[in-house]
A and B are shown apart, each in its own frame.
Chain A
């Protein structure tokens, strides 16, 4: 099943988590449907990681229930963990292991063995672009490659639900774009929960977004729905002939631009540029397009900005 009418993959009801005096998650209720790429968005300290730790059975809730694929996280913890692939925040890894050795270890703990495991590891190495790194020690890899190892581990057993907690944190812009493309590719077939405190990350990859603040939900919907719900700001929409990632990277460099997201449509890329403040940067964008000798089919300014919605909703 696919799209917003699919059946429920994860069901969170009345979830609460307290750490002593800190009420990290408050009455959180939401569902993730099969096939969705679900954006879980909120500023630092909003309670995203805590929620995911409860989902993955690492810590229990103070109250409320979660079920994943019909299994309760408390009653059937092992079943839930089998269904989930998890990339924890900050991507912890066994630094003294080799890449393949680590994936083999993770696979064995997933109940995989022999040829099936080896061929699955090969596949993940291909998908995640790790082919040149298989014999390297994980502790000596760059951050971008470490992230790929983390992703490979999370997807190794072809999980029903893939949970990624801030998968692009600490990466440079090019690596962010690469990882984002990888996640988009994965998201075409899998149910993904993508946690981030950066709006553009989530709006570029996710089919639906839940914004939380101080542990409580504040808004949910598609990026368009959220934008039309409230707020106004400055955004530009461009149609440019060229490769999406390249255009994204170049436009990101234009003064006043806060985020860029591109989606490819044959040789044309539809690009959405959000800018800081209310300044008119149409001319700078046009110049950037001309300097790069791209063909331009469209350049228009849109008023509402998701960025502003997010800022308004999570202020204070």
Chain B
């Protein structure tokens, strides 16, 4: 546990050692606020469905940017050899890094609190739906993060990690999208729909949290963190 905490602290601090973190958070807030409020006054409804509806797309680019550095840099600077010859298990390192990126994303998401406050000033929103939406966003974000983290462990180039991260996340998003399920064999449609990253967020976006969606996100997280451990171990394969 001390190991996980030490890695978590180091990685979390690392985000704020460069100005990029602040630029990142600012851009995230400006982009999501702009896209949301642009439509908000047209639709004229006091809820955040429109805001949460943006997130699967916005995360597609923002989350791989959070994770791209986390392993790639260790590989490039060769600190991986230092880290993995200290008495820590691969699992502890992966969990520590994941939690750090999760907290960074969490802070970014929660800083959008100005949005529900603004809405509350203008109308009478359903608070339960908004809280549910935030929890769902964190879950979905964590799933995206686990993908980005794994991809970062495959390369020593951050930019490559970013691009592949976007592509892999997009692919997992699209397999459940009507674009794909329309042309897929009928038998595969339920499976594809279930696997699609986006399909578990619609009800969440309305503030309805279904345990099946939670199980789905936790499975995705577990699966990609497992792949991450395997890819760290892969240096040992002949």
Interface residue ranges, A against B (CB under 8 Å) = 18, 53, 56-60, 62, 78, 81-82, 84, 86, 88, 90, 92-97, 105-106, 108-111, 113, 153
Task: Give Cα A311 to B2, complex, Å.
Answer: 49
Task: Give Cα A145 to B91, complex, Å.
Answer: 32
Task: Give Cα A113 to B10, complex, Å.
Answer: 15
Task: Give Cα A153 to B22, complex, Å.
Answer: 31
Find out whether the CB atom of A81 lies under 8 angstroms from the CB atom of B85: yes
Interface residue ranges, B against A (CB under 8 Å) = 2-3, 5-7, 9-10, 14, 17-18, 77-79, 81-82, 84-89, 235-236, 238
Which residues on A sit within 8 Å (CB–CB) of B79?
Answer: 92-94
Which residues on A sit within 8 Å (CB–CB) of B82?
Answer: 86, 88, 92-93, 153
Q: How near does chain B come to A239, taking the closest CB pair, in angstroms?
A: 43
Q: How near does chain B come to A165, taking the closest CB pair, in angstroms?
A: 10
Q: How near does chain A come to B29, taking the closest CB pair, in angstroms?
A: 25
Partner of B86, one of A93, A97, A110, A113: A110
Find out whether the CB atom of A113 lies under 8 angstroms from the CB atom of B78: no
Which residues on A sit within 8 Å (CB–CB) of B18?
Answer: 96
Which residues on A sit within 8 Å (CB–CB) of B6?
Answer: 105, 108-109
Which residues on A sit within 8 Å (CB–CB) of B10?
Answer: 94, 97, 105
Chain B CB count within 10 A is highest, among A62, A78, A92, A97, for A92
Which residues on B sit within 8 Å (CB–CB) of A111?
Answer: 2, 87
Task: Give Cα A92 to B75, complex, Å.
Answer: 10
What residue in chain B is nearest A107 (Cβ atoms)? Answer: B6
Find out whether the CB atom of A109 lies under 8 angstroms from the CB atom of B87: yes
User: How many pairs of A and B residues are in contact by the CB < 8 Å rule?
Assistant: 65
What residue in chain A is nearest B3 (Cβ atoms)? Answer: A109
Chain B CB count within 10 A is highest, among A56, A57, A92, A109, for A109
Find out whether the CB atom of A58 lies under 8 angstroms from the CB atom of B84: yes
Chain B CB count within 10 A is highest, among A84, A86, A108, A110, for A108
Q: How near does chain A come to B234, taking the closest CB pair, in angstroms?
A: 11
Give the top 4 A-B pairs by smallest Cβ distance, nearest first: A108-B6, A92-B78, A56-B85, A81-B87
Task: Give Cα A23 to B14, complex, Å.
Answer: 39
Find out whether the CB atom of A95 lies under 8 angstroms from the CB atom of B85: no
Find out whether the CB atom of B85 lies under 8 angstroms from the CB atom of A58: yes
Which residues on B sit within 8 Å (CB–CB) of A81?
Answer: 85-87
Find out whether the CB atom of A95 lies under 8 angstroms from the CB atom of B81: no
Contact flag A96-B14 (CB < 8 Å), given A105-B6, A110-B87, A111-B87: yes
Find out whether the CB atom of A96 lies under 8 angstroms from the CB atom of B17: yes
What residue in chain A is nearest B88 (Cβ atoms)? Answer: A109
Partner of A84, one of B7, B84, B85: B85
Q: How near does chain A come to B6, taking the closest CB pair, in angstroms?
A: 4
Which residues on A sit within 8 Å (CB–CB) of B77?
Answer: 92-95
Known: A97-B10, A97-B14, A106-B86. 9 other contacts (CB 8 A): A57-B85, A81-B86, A88-B81, A88-B85, A92-B81, A96-B14, A109-B87, A109-B88, A113-B2
Task: Give Cα A110 to B77, complex, Å.
Answer: 21
Give 16 A-B contacts (CB < 8 Å), ordered by A residue: A58-B85, A58-B235, A59-B236, A81-B86, A88-B81, A90-B78, A93-B82, A94-B10, A94-B77, A96-B14, A96-B18, A105-B6, A105-B10, A109-B3, A109-B86, A113-B2
Which residues on A sit within 8 Å (CB–CB) of B81?
Answer: 53, 58, 88, 92
Find out whether the CB atom of B87 lies under 8 angstroms from the CB atom of A59: no
Find out whether the CB atom of B86 lies under 8 angstroms from the CB atom of A59: no
Chain B CB count within 10 A is highest, among A60, A78, A94, for A94
Which residues on A sit within 8 Å (CB–CB) of B14?
Answer: 96-97
Task: Give Cα A169 to B92, complex, Å.
Answer: 33
Task: Give Cα A113 to B5, complex, Å.
Answer: 12
Find out whether the CB atom of B85 lies under 8 angstroms from the CB atom of A82: no
Q: How near does chain B come to A199, taking the closest CB pair, in angstroms?
A: 26
Q: How near does chain B come to A19, taking the closest CB pair, in angstroms?
A: 9
What residue in chain B is nearest A94 (Cβ atoms)? Answer: B79
Q: How near does chain A come to B69, taking the closest CB pair, in angstroms?
A: 10
Find out whether the CB atom of A88 lies under 8 angstroms from the CB atom of B236: no
Task: Give Cα A18 to B79, complex, Å.
Answer: 23
Find out whether the CB atom of B2 lies under 8 angstroms from the CB atom of A108: yes
Which residues on B sit within 8 Å (CB–CB) of A57?
Answer: 84-85
Q: How near does chain B come to A45, taking the closest CB pair, in angstroms?
A: 18
Task: Give Cα A97 to B18, complex, Å.
Answer: 11
Which residues on A sit within 8 Å (CB–CB) of B84?
Answer: 57-58
Which residues on A sit within 8 Å (CB–CB) of B238?
Answer: 18, 62
What residue in chain A is nearest B10 (Cβ atoms)? Answer: A105
Which residues on B sit within 8 Å (CB–CB) of A108?
Answer: 2-3, 5-6
